[in-house]
Chain A
Amino acid sequence: MKNKSLSFWLFLTPTLVALALVVFIPVLEGLFYSFTDWDGLRFTKVVGFQNYITLFQDKAFINAFWFTVGFVIVTVIMLNVIGLGLALLVTQKFKGNNFLRTIFFMPNMIGGLILGFIWQFIFTQGFQALGNALHMDWLQNWLTNEVTGFWGLVIVTVWQMSGYIMIIYIAYLQNIPNEIIEAAKIDGASAWQRFTKITFPMIAPAFTVCMFLTLSNGFKIYDQNLSLTNGGPYNSTQMLAMDIVNTAYNSGNFALSEAKAIIFFIIVAAISLLQVAYNRKREEDL
């Protein structure tokens, strides 16, 4: 297919046009509007970095930032530990291991919004009932403060996504040649030694992929946040994605929301790329 040939462009045009309309033109517009006093319809003047200065003084944004960072750290660790644990479990030979894969992955099929509603019921009604039955006060009034709201979001995310992470670890675990494990067994390596010295180094690329997915997904979570706590009480469980949406559509502050979204983009892109670069280097060292 020649470079400038008609067919090259005919094949490419629909996708390129859609991408331009949906991603590139809006992102450039948004970047421009973030330097103005845009109200969603029109702007009167260019205000320079004013919106960027305002957002760093915005308590809701700063709170959402630290809440999200905490959430990402905890979920990245838990998802990778549990995801790998489940993968190691279901790749062993025992009855029902395939059925278990089906179950562990199932929550992933359900959208984040509905997952949040499901767990709102469990945290408010189910935990209440359990707390009464077992006389455990800490199970009462779940989701009514920042701490339990935080752990509620973590539990929903772990229940949803660890099956997904499990699937990816399984794919890499199955690529490890059986002979290596057998040879190590004959040499008398314990199960723990086989795991740390063989399995773990050999699935280093899986670790890179899963870190990237859990990290970028964690920053972008919105639906679960909306339906589980709706950011409450008093915005204390509001994550970054939700703060940006609310700044625009609830407060009508479109230019500020756009500036926040640009900062959000820079944070997510920088952390994701740094993480991949670091893990690739680690893979080579192993």
Chain B
Amino acid sequence: MDKKGRVGLGIIGLLLGILWLFPFYLIVTNSFKTPKGIFASVLSFPHPSTGDNYVNSFKALNFIGSLTNSLIITVCSVLLIILCSSMAAYALQRNHSKLSGGILMLFISAMLIPFQSVMIPLTANFGAVHFLNMWGLVIMYLGFDASLSVFLYQGTLASIPIAMDESAEIEGASRWQIFTKVIFPMLSPITVTVAILNIIAIWNDYLLPSLVLPQAQYTIPLQMFNFFGEYTKQWHLALAGITLSIIPVIIFYLFAQKWIIKGVTDGAVK
């Protein structure tokens, strides 16, 4: 392409980039304004600016508490999903029988069932055994997210020759040792993909936790929803809350960007 074309594309890109970032600009600048300041001008830079909104919304959101809850739930769920679905995929892929084919179809068909079809009996059942809390939620995430994860692991396992298993077996390794010492380390690229896809989905989930969690275990999205109900139309506080709640996500994104893009690509393409 000639230089002129490149400059032209650069300008189009720049304009689109600004358009995409503009919502962030509005949220962040207004989060530093007083209610009067927002009323006077939404588009301008904060003048005078205040950090009080952050102090107040930090408390009202119980930010440390909800951040901790979000972290515990996401980390535990993702670790459990990685462990269980890689094991399940290994069992299914290394065993070519009608039974394992049938079980794999079962996993895939579960992906089609929308959450609304199961939510009421699900919460009723877990409630009956007093499991409507973050540990019940972790088990639910395993059930809901195992399908895609097993599917992704299964595809990768097909490309790892069975000779790897056999040579380890000859050397006297148990099935568990073969899996943990030989196979699982070879799966690390797809493990990153599985982790990324699940982290994004679980961290941001609202509906399921809202049906499951008691208030003391509220995650960031749940706190955010409550906070909005309480401070309706107090945009100066709400915007500071929004900005606070997206900071961890943006940090994670900028830090893990390379793997996130790869994970999303693999997840959709495979």
Residues of A that sit less than 8 Å from B by CB: 1-3, 7-9, 11-12, 14-16, 18-27, 29-30, 33, 40-41, 86, 89-90, 92-97, 99-114, 117-119, 121-122, 125-126, 128-130, 133, 159, 164, 167-168, 170-172, 209, 213, 219-220, 222-223, 226-227, 241, 244-245, 248, 254, 257-258, 260-262, 264-265, 268-269, 272
Contact = CB atoms under 8 A, between A and B. Distances in A.
Contact of B91 (A8, A25, A33, A118): A8
Contacts of B106: 19, 24
Nearest to B95: A1
Given A23-B143, A114-B245, A95 B88 contact: no
Contacts of A27: 113, 117-118, 121
Interface of B: 1, 6-7, 9-10, 12-14, 16-17, 20-21, 23, 26-27, 30, 38, 41-43, 84-85, 87-88, 90-92, 94-95, 97, 99-100, 103, 106-107, 110, 112-122, 124-125, 139-140, 142-144, 146-147, 150, 175-176, 179, 200, 203-207, 221, 224-225, 228, 235, 238-239, 242, 245-246, 249-250, 252-254, 257, 260-261, 264-265, 268-269
A26 B120 CA distance: 8
Contacts of A268: 112, 114
Contacts of A101: 261
Contacts of A86: 16
A104 to B, nearest CB: 6
B221 to A, nearest CB: 5
Given A94-B6, A245-B207, A264 B42 contact: no
A260 to B, nearest CB: 8
B21 A103 contact: yes
Contacts of B224: 113-114, 117
Given A107-B20, A245-B207, A258-B117, 18 more contacts: A1-B175, A3-B99, A11-B175, A12-B88, A12-B92, A14-B87, A14-B142, A21-B125, A41-B124, A89-B9, A89-B13, A100-B13, A104-B17, A106-B253, A114-B224, A226-B206, A261-B119, A265-B114
B121 A30 contact: yes
Given A90-B13, A102-B257, A118-B27, A248 B120 contact: yes
